[in-house]
Amino acid sequence: MKKLLLITLLCLLVQQTAFPQSFSTNNKKGWELCSERKSQMKLLPAKSANSPKHSFDVLNYSLSLDLMACYTSPYPTSFKATNVMRFRVDSALNQIQLNASGYSLQIDSVKLSGAKLTFSHQNDLLTITLDRTYDPQEEVEITIYYNRKNVRDDSFYVEQGWLYTDCEPEGARQWFPCWDKPSDKATADITAKVPKNVKLGATGHLQDSINDGTSITYKWVSRDPVATYLVVIASKANYNLDIVNWTNPRTQEVVPIRFYYNNGENISYPKSIIGDMTTFFSDYYGDHPFEKNGFATVGPSFTWGGMENQTLTTLCRNCWQESLIAHEYAHQWFGDMVTCATWADIWLNEGFATWSEAFWNGHRNGYSYYLNEIKQNASSYKYSNPGTPISNPAWAVNTPGPDVLFNTATTYNKSSCVVHQLRYVLGDSLFFKCLKAYATDTVNFKYKSATTEDFKNKFEEVSGQQLDWFFDSWIYQPNHPTYKNEYWMTDLGAGMWRFNFFAKQINNVFQPYWQMPLEVKISFADQSDTIVRFFNSVNSESFHFDFHKQPVSAVFDPNSGIVLRDGTTILSTNQSPVAFATGISSVSPNPFSESTTVTYTLSKKAHVKLSLYNLQGKLVQALVDADQQTGDHSVVISGQSLTAGVYFCRFSDGEASQTVKVVILK
């Protein structure tokens, strides 16, 4: 649930005109509703991630709020509050700076051990001078006394009996002083005094509620660290509240899932599926991470979608769609439990939440539903592609505008397709092993934050594969490849046939080459078929496969592993063996166990590179790297130090390249 500017709204309106059914109110996907919500919002002025310098680590915020006056006309947004903030010193300091909106907050005083501290509050920064210089690892606790002003902003809402917060990306500073960056997670407790007819939900678990006859004082305490933008209040006079208790089948822990809703809303269906959804996501992503969870529909200014606040998602009124619930609930793992470390890593939140919608749909209705939804996401991305990457490292320093940061096409749709393609690259077994290892890594990620590089490194560690090539192309570069592939068949005689495949991309001259493992489904004259898989690392690369039966046709990417692509694959009219006058002519024996001989031909003098790669595209042996004369050449591949499996022998003469599959048996 992220922010878009008017230009994105106009794009959506164009889409609605072109595809009215898929964008109708009842059929909208969770990612659409999620992204639309913030189209109305204003992003605070961008500030460098390193300004002010962060020399401390916040450990806990303890907020005490008097909200008694906020629930009756004229519904003021003002309240009196204290923030007891405990932090650990990372580098020697005698002052700290916090984010505190000058528009929304009035700081009255700051104390340490009862003594007043000097402070200044300018340009949305609260600078506090401490009583002495503190050394690294010392812990300090200060109390900030402040007032929230009676102003309207885009983070703290009071309207017609509702009071709720909505803080992504950097709006927490509008209702409490804090270090308002996603990388610094801290526990938080909220004590709020409200009229006795008000139900108030917040981050964490309900530790206490005291009713004195005229008011209720709620105390919510988070057991687990939370990013400031995910700290939440959702409350209303005469709220309805239902609770579904989910029991973890592995630990027997009972997790209450709270549903706050308005009169006239039917929540029977989301209540009926939330248990299965919790179990499903827990199976694949690791146990449900928090002590409680829930959903709350809020006031009229929350027009669209939802926001994945930690342990309590806010939704627009009557927005109980299954896909939206799945999207926001998946965020509890990806976004809340593991949070993007910087705004350059927001795709780790939104890509996985959007992909999880499709993943849940596949669980409920079958794999074809999953794949169709991923294909729809790919189509939506291509229709509205702004030509920007999913992630730009500069966004870690300067927060971009919402039209870039929360762009529907890239941050949601393309990112979900990249997750699907990573699944295709690794295969289901290894992909889910990596994903669960990442999500359950309590040393580095669980209840912490992660960058894109952190995520990549964890997947490389668990998979044993090098993945720079994948992330460099799909995450850090814009757009997608356009293929112009060709294939043809060659009769080798004696009942042998060769299937030839020429992989080519016709991308913009400024675009990179998208490396990927390719799959081709080959059909034979006897009405059988087979799928061959090979790694394509350079443009205009040729491959061939020999069979004891006649191939008659082929389909590129038959299982839609690469959904982010355009182009064609055609049967070539050039079926002459002359196409391979230069290149590998044979690998014999193949398969082999001890050794095999690669024979290749040069039609002219050239610098030859001949190398052996494994199935993941990692170099195993450099066989030839030298200038060679016209004619036939051969080189022996030794299999003694290699494990059994599929490998690729890649030939290049500086003008053309060719790859042949070789198989080692043990």
5 to each of 37, 157, 193, 236, 402, how far by Cα in Å? 11, 20, 36, 29, 6
Q: Is the pLDDT of residue 450 over 70?
A: yes
Residue with tokens 């709350």: 296
Predicted confidence at residue 556, as pLDDT, reads: 98
Predicted confidence at residue 65, as pLDDT, reads: 98
Helices (H), 385-515: 402-405, 415-426, 428-439, 452-463, 468-474
CA separation for the pair 147, 105 (Å, rounded): 6
Tell me the two tokens of residue 661.
């599959």
Q: Is the pLDDT of residue 656 over 80?
A: no
CA separation for the pair 188, 194 (Å, rounded): 19
Q: How many CB atoms neighbour CB 312 within 10 A?
A: 26
For 511-525, write each residue's pLDDT tens digit.
778 999 999 999 999
Q: Is the pLDDT of residue 275 over 50?
A: yes
Predicted confidence at residue 421, as pLDDT, reads: 98
Q: Which residues of 631-643 are buried (b: 16+ CB within 10 A; e: fewer)?
A: eebeeebebeebe
CA separation for the pair 226, 187 (Å, rounded): 6
Q: How many CB atoms neighbour CB 408 within 10 A?
A: 27
Residue with tokens 């146990």: 287
For 80-139, write each residue's pLDDT tens digit.
999 999 999 999 999 999 999 999 999 999 999 999 999 999 989 999 999 999 999 999
Predicted confidence at residue 610, as pLDDT, reads: 92
For 389-404, write each residue's pLDDT tens digit.
999 999 998 888 888 8
The mean pLDDT value for 415-442 works out to: 98
Tell me the two tokens of residue 115.
């003594």
For 567-590, write each residue's pLDDT tens digit.
999 999 765 433 445 778 788 898
Please state the separation of Cα 460 from the chain's center in Å: 17
Please state the separation of Cα 432 from the chain's center in Å: 15
Greater pLDDT, 653 or 533: 533
Tell me the two tokens of residue 344.
């350059």
Q: How many residues can be counted in the chain?
A: 666
Predicted confidence at residue 11, as pLDDT, reads: 36
For 31-71, write each residue's pLDDT tens digit.
667 766 544 454 443 333 333 457 999 999 999 999 999 99
For 74-84, write each residue's pLDDT tens digit.
999 999 999 99
CA atoms 373, 374, 378, 384: torsion sign: positive
Of residues 599, 619, 616, 620, the one with CA closest to residue 608: 599
Predicted confidence at residue 586, as pLDDT, reads: 81
Helix/strand/coil for 429:
helix
CA separation for the pair 15, 408 (Å, rounded): 12
Predicted confidence at residue 35, as pLDDT, reads: 62
Predicted confidence at residue 575, as pLDDT, reads: 53
Backbone φ, ψ for residue 395 (5° rounding): -65, -20
Q: Which residues of 150-161 are buried (b: 16+ CB within 10 A; e: fewer)?
A: eeebbbbbbbeb
Helix/strand/coil for 464:
coil
Instruction: Name the helix (H) or strand (E) containing 570.
Output: strand 566-571
Helix/strand/coil for 13:
helix
Angle ∠(610,612,613) on CA atoms, nearest 5: 130
240-247/254-261 β-pairing: antiparallel
Q: Report the C-alpha dihedral over residues 98, 100, 106, 108, rounded to 10 degrees.
A: -10
Helix/strand/coil for 272:
helix
Tell me the two tokens of residue 289.
């991470």
Instruction: Give this prediction's pTM.
Output: 0.84
Predicted confidence at residue 27, as pLDDT, reads: 65
Helix/strand/coil for 588:
strand
Helix/strand/coil for 432:
helix
Helix/strand/coil for 627:
strand
551 — pLDDT class (breaks 50, 70, 90):
very high
Angle ∠(383,385,390) on CA atoms, nearest 5: 140
